[in-house]
Amino acid sequence: MWRYVKMLALSVGMGTAVLLACLFLLANESKAGGGVLCVVPPGEPTGPFTACDAVFTQIQDAVDTAVGGEEIWVAAGVYTDVHTVSPYNWTEQIVLVTKTLTIRGGYVAPFTEPPDFAANQTILDAQEQAHALFLFGQDVTAEGLHITGGKEGDGSVLVGGTAMLNQNVVYENAGFGVFIYQGSSVNLNQNTIRNNDRIGVVIVRSHVTLTENIVISNTGVLTIFEPEIGYAGGIYVRDSVVTMTANVISGNVAAAVTSDSGWGSAYGGGVYIEESTITMNNNTIAENVALGTANSAYSSSGGYGGGIAIFNSQGTLSHNVVRSNQAVANVAGYGHGGGLFIGGASSLTLTGNTIEANRACAGECEAGYGGGVHLDYGGAPVTAVVTLHDNLIQNNVANVSGITGFGGGLYVYGNFNDSQSIVHLTDNDILSNTGIISGPVGAGGGLFLAEEESIMTLSGNRVMSNSAAVTTTAYSVGGGLFVRGDLQLFNNNRFINNSATHHGIGYGGGFAMGSYEQIHVQMVNTILNDNQANTAGSAVAVIGADDTLSMQHATMAGNHGGDAAVWLAGYDIDSGEPIANSRLMMTNTILVSHTMAVSVGNGHTAVLNGVLWFNTPITVTAGVTATVSVANQLTGDPVFAPDGYHITAGSAAIRAGVPSGVSLDIDGEGRPSANPSLGVDEYWPFKGYFPLIFKP
């Protein structure tokens, strides 16, 4: 489904690797020095200036004169003179630094402090003939420079050593904007890196910190060895340790399909990360595209991670905004993870992020997977642990206009027999996502979970106002959630106001499950309220064969549309062939305000023990060969609080249940073991409840 990436260093040729290694090893150890060396453009007066110990007309002359430790102040103007510096005669650039120096732009004669980087632009323009700036010393600082015109291929700014880049503008270079390599340790602070023809920032085998940079409108690279594959538009990271804080990464494109081979793929429109340790905090990744083209597209093209693509990496992503990215933009093909794609042996924790308004596929795609997030462990036997906690995943779309859209908010795939992936989804808000807008098939408006061999837990999530499909002709399943794989734990989740489809054929407004293999799902303390399915199973639909659904302490209220709130299919909804042997076990359930509560098709089994009916004319219907058992049932008003699921004084559900082995209710409060209350809430006196409020 996806490919691992070739080392980007190979794509720029072995010459760069040798060059950087030699520069780093040959650089002379700097002597302690000091003072200020000044530079003015050729033809301008050279002073004397009181602030300057010496004045030059070329930056390289000042660098060559320095012994180390000096500051080089560079006046506004355009510097185009390209140099070779002995013994590094195999490379040309405007400036090569192998000493401990600070180079600062933004001055005007007579060099009074402070400099003004914006008003007094110090421009290094290589005119696409060479590199602009090489930094290969220890403790080198470059700040306030405008760097442009770097040649195609390697970076306009190359760094191998220890360096700081502060408040520079790196723009309109034919190659990479900044290339960091060879075990470097680099800080990039408040730089603007924009409109470069290749990747904005490339980081390979280095330790890098990026803080408050703007990386916008850069274009990814199509590698030499794989000409149909592109990696990263904004930032590329491989074999590195990287910390990114408060950066804006916007409007970048990983690659455009131009090959005549019939296919093309791109990874990470904004950011691509592989084999690395990553910390990302408070960044904005917006309006990036993994795969786009102005040419005719190919149906087998693929885009992975419109905002971010991560492979075989570890780390944390917290409080980032991932917004309005596209894995595939206005072309055919397959889109995977409009906002974020995570694959391979990646162990990551995502906390407090906002992932919104992303599109896995915005064009006429064959399929879109994961409008907001796509987790993928299906390509190889891997071990991975991914935790999503307290994230807001909203208004994402898996496929705008195409054939299939799976997982409007989140898509999880992993079916390799030797995979040991573990996925935890806890306390997330998954709101107003869509599987497919205009197309025939949509599944999992909020989430599509296809983990078949691994461990998955869902706890405390709020899944609300999602749609599997929109158009009148669509076939859809699982408005809130569609499950096609085993789940280890499904606890304290809320499914509210979701829709399989408002008009077409739809099953499972809140939740649907079904697979070609036997799957087992256990749901504890689950709310399914006000969901809708146009055909059947407004709350729950079990549509596979030999599937088992166990529900303990569920509250279902006000679900509507189609046949029954809870529905076990009597036939395969794809082929129309009869199927059988699915099992439904419901213990201590509240089912209220439905036209029909439970429908069991031929050959299926339902066992209900402890159930409260209210405002439900038809409680259970069963096929001729169905097996249905209902015990300890009663009729009465649950007397809900305004939030629609807490029970209050006088409720018929209080202490009306049977022993279930569930010790805590949805609020984490204890239940009596002998006679717990029905539904998700355990009643205790002197508690007050308020309407359910979702975070913005």
| pLDDT tens for each residue of 314-370 | 999 999 999 999 998 877 788 999 999 999 888 999 999 999 999 999 877 889 999
| Percent of the chain surpassing pLDDT 70 | 86
Number of domains composing the chain: 1
Q: What is d(CA 340, CA 47) in angstroms, rounded to the nearest whole number?
A: 55
Paired sense of beta strands 618-622 and 596-600, if any: parallel
Q: What is d(CA 29, CA 485) in angstroms, rounded to the nearest whole number?
A: 60
Q: What is d(CA 520, CA 516) in angstroms, rounded to the nearest whole number?
A: 12
How far does CA 289 lie from the centroid of its chain?
13
Q: Is residue 264 part of a domain?
A: no
Residue with tokens 């530079």: 39
Query: DSSP letters of 199-232?
Result: -SEEEESSEEEEES-EEES-B-EE-SSSTTEEE-
How far does CA 649 lie from the centroid of its chain?
44
- What sign does the CA torsion over 44, 48, 49, 55 have? positive
Q: Measured between alpha carbons, how far is residue 204 from residues 27, 116, 207, 230, 491 in Å?
A: 20, 32, 9, 16, 42
* Assigned token pair, 42: 């050729």
Residue with tokens 């508690």: 687
- Residue 92's Cβ-count burial label (10 Å; 0-12, 13-18, 19+) is middle
Sorted by sequence, the CB contacts under 8 Å of residue 474 that are 6+ apart come out as: 436, 439, 440, 441, 442, 468, 501, 503, 504, 505, 506
pLDDT at residue 384, rounded to an integer:
80
Q: Can you give the C-alpha Rg of the chain in angstroms?
A: 30
Is pLDDT larger for residue 673 or for residue 465?
465
Collapse the DSSP code of 242 into the 3-class scheme (helix H, G, I; strand E, B; otherwise coil) and give the result.
strand
Q: What would the mean pLDDT of 543-557 be, rounded to a whole number?
A: 92
Q: Is residue 113 part of a domain?
A: yes
Sorted by sequence, the CB contacts under 8 Å of residue 529 that are 6+ apart come out as: 494, 495, 496, 497, 555, 556, 557, 558, 559, 644, 645
Q: Per residue in 206-257, pLDDT tens? A: 999 999 999 999 988 655 445 567 889 999 999 999 999 999 999 999 986 5
Q: What are phi and psi of 426, to 5 degrees?
A: -130, 130
pLDDT at residue 51, rounded to an integer:
95
Which stretch of DSSP H or E encloses residue 17? helix 14-26
Q: Per residue in 371-426, pLDDT tens? A: 999 998 765 566 788 999 999 999 999 999 888 999 999 999 876 555 567 889 99
Given a cut of 90, is residue 147 above it in pLDDT? yes
Q: Is residue 634 part of a domain?
A: no
Q: pLDDT-derived band of residue 11, with 50, 70 and 90 as boundaries?
A: very low
Query: DSSP letters of 539-576?
Result: SEEE-SSS-EEEEEEEEEES-BSSB-SEEE-SB-TTT-
- CA-based nearest residue to 630, from 594, 593, 600: 600
- Residue 454's Cβ-count burial label (10 Å; 0-12, 13-18, 19+) is buried
pLDDT at residue 420, rounded to an integer:
64
- CA-based nearest residue to 656, from 645, 642, 640, 671: 671
Q: What is d(CA 113, CA 470) in angstroms, rounded to the nearest whole number?
A: 61
- Let me know the angle formed at the C-alpha of 472 by 469 and 478, rounded to the nearest 5 degrees: 30
Q: Per residue in 250-301, pLDDT tens? A: 999 998 655 455 457 889 999 999 999 999 999 999 999 998 764 444 556 7
What type of residue is 410?
A: L
Backbone dihedral region of 604: left (phi > 0), alpha (psi from -120 to 50 degrees) or beta? beta
Q: pLDDT-derived band of residue 171, with 50, 70 and 90 as boundaries?
A: very high
Given a cut of 50, is residue 8 above it in pLDDT? no
Given a cut of 90, is residue 305 above it in pLDDT? yes
* Assigned token pair, 406: 């799976």
- Let me know the angle formed at the C-alpha of 504 by 503 and 509, rounded to the nearest 5 degrees: 80
What type of residue is 672?
A: P
pLDDT at residue 575, rounded to an integer:
64
Q: Is residue 355 part of a domain?
A: no
Q: Is residue 185 part of a domain?
A: yes
Query: 68 lies in which domain range?
Result: 1-190
Q: What is the pTM of this model?
A: 0.92
Q: Is residue 53 part of a domain?
A: yes
What length does the chain have?
A: 696
Inter-residue contact 532 to 559 (CB < 8 Å): yes
Paired sense of beta strands 347-351 and 385-389, if any: parallel
Average pLDDT of the chain to the nearest whole number:
87
How many Cα atoms are found within 13 Å in the side-chain-facing hemisphere of 380? Answer: 12
Q: What is d(CA 382, CA 431) in angstroms, rounded to the nearest whole number?
A: 31
3-state helix, strand, coil in the chain (%, to 5): 5, 45, 50
For the chain, the straight-line distance linking the first and the last C-alpha, in angstroms and rounded, comes to: 35
- SS3 letters for 268-333? CCCEEEECCEEEEECCEEECCEEEECCCCCCCCCEEECCCEEEECCEEEEECCEEECCEEEECCCC
Q: Is residue 392 part of a domain?
A: no
Q: What is d(CA 67, CA 98) in angstroms, rounded to the nearest whole number?
A: 10
- CA-based nearest residue to 452, from 314, 547, 326: 547
Q: Is residue 46 part of a domain?
A: yes
